[in-house]
Structure 1
């Protein structure tokens, strides 16, 4: 290679390095300008908590909630692992008064009543892991959950119970669930006092890690 060619290659290399450095300075300048102006600056995507959604399984979070406590816990589960959510609704309503609701719930249980659902999924087939949330009514799930569990085929599914309560914990809910879904796997459940539902995120997180559905 001649001396002139060497000089030309050296000049080309320096120009390329200068162009790269200039490009970097422009990017940084634009970024700082965006920050100063209060604009959103693109960043590299990060894995969210939902990226670990139950180790790649498709998740459904089903719950029934009259006062909103069970809904609150369902939302905390969803915050950590994602998935689809379904709040069961019935064709009939429950009284606003607590005592009247407990009396109606007791009658429904004694009569083996199966409420008509006005909110449901067409099939649980696409899901691998299904959370079942309920307030503990007279030691077990509200009858709306019985309707739901009897309607669908849970063979081969993993069911995960959780409930809100004021002293009875999960009750016999998981046992009744197992009786209705004999071919499903049922994991250890979580019971949260209704009065503490809004502050239960740490308990929810620890439970999800313990049963292997979150990191």
Structure 2
């Protein structure tokens, strides 16, 4: 009787160990496949087109979904000089002026990308391009051997060729197919936005 009890306990221990190993293998599968990953994004709250005054930027919502699904770390790009959040028309004029001047607004902080193999880059589509602070970030780093996966929020223009601009800016990187999510969907239908992220990733 005692031998049977010991055998039962040993078998339970073996099954538990196997289960834990399988869980660990599953949880690490994304990291094994893609290496260490990072989500870098630029996003603004406040008065925004087609959604009114919002507490969290459209791109921020998508960035967090991606980080959640991939187990990536998050890093938000913030400028030293804040953009206006009380007037969308004033914001778009500033964005256009910066684009025309090829401005490179200073960032509050940067992050060392050396340890990351895959980097998701997120931004709102401003005048058919990335916001200039995103260029500030991209031009500050060596992208050789990295995989870049762009994503954006928009109200009709999609990625608008920004993938090609990232490719020309980030020499030596592999730039994968990006994701474009309508800002209004990200803001008002988060379940649909999350599904779009999941369908894109998997």
TM-score range, shorter chain: 0.7 to 0.9
**Residue 44 of structure 2 is aligned to residue 52 of structure 1:** no
Post-superposition CA distance 1:132-154 (Å, at most 9, x none): 00000010110111000000000
Match of 1:124 in 2: 113
Q: 2:81 aligns with which of 66, 71, 92?
A: 92
The alpha-carbon deviation at position 204 of structure 1 amounts to 0.7
Q: Using the alignment, how far apart are the partners of 1:75 and 1:95 within structure 2?
A: 23
Q: Provide the aligned C-alpha RMSD in A.
A: 2.1
**Residue 156 of structure 2 is aligned to residue 167 of structure 1:** yes
Q: Using the alignment, how far apart are the partners of 1:98 and 1:89 within structure 2?
A: 18
Please, which runs of 5 or more residues in structure 1 have no aligned partner?
A: 1-13, 28-43, 210-215
Match of 1:81 in 2: 70
Match of 1:156 in 2: 145
Alignment: residue pair count: 176
Q: Using the alignment, how far apart are the partners of 1:204 and 1:106 within structure 2?
A: 29
Normalising by the residue count of structure 1, what TM-score does the alignment of the two structures yield? Answer: 0.75
Q: Name which one, 1 or 2, has greater alpha-carbon Rg.
A: 1
Match of 1:31 in 2: none
Q: Using the alignment, how far apart are the partners of 1:75 and 1:61 within structure 2?
A: 8
Normalising by the residue count of structure 2, what TM-score does the alignment of the two structures yield? Answer: 0.80
User: Structure 1 residues 109, 53: CA separation in 2 closer, same or farther (over 3 Å shift)?
Assistant: same
Q: 2:165 aligns with which of 176, 179, 196?
A: 176
Post-superposition CA distance 1:174-201 (Å, at most 9, x none): 1211111121110000000001112311
Structure 1 segments of 4+ aligned residues over 2 angstroms from their partners: 14-21, 44-54
Q: 1:104 aligns with which of 80, 94, 114?
A: 94
Please, which runs of 5 or more residues in structure 2 have no aligned partner?
A: 13-18, 46-56
Q: Using the alignment, how far apart are the partners of 1:60 and 1:125 within structure 2?
A: 11
Q: Using the alignment, how far apart are the partners of 1:113 and 1:153 within structure 2?
A: 20
Q: Using the alignment, how far apart are the partners of 1:48 and 1:203 within structure 2?
A: 26
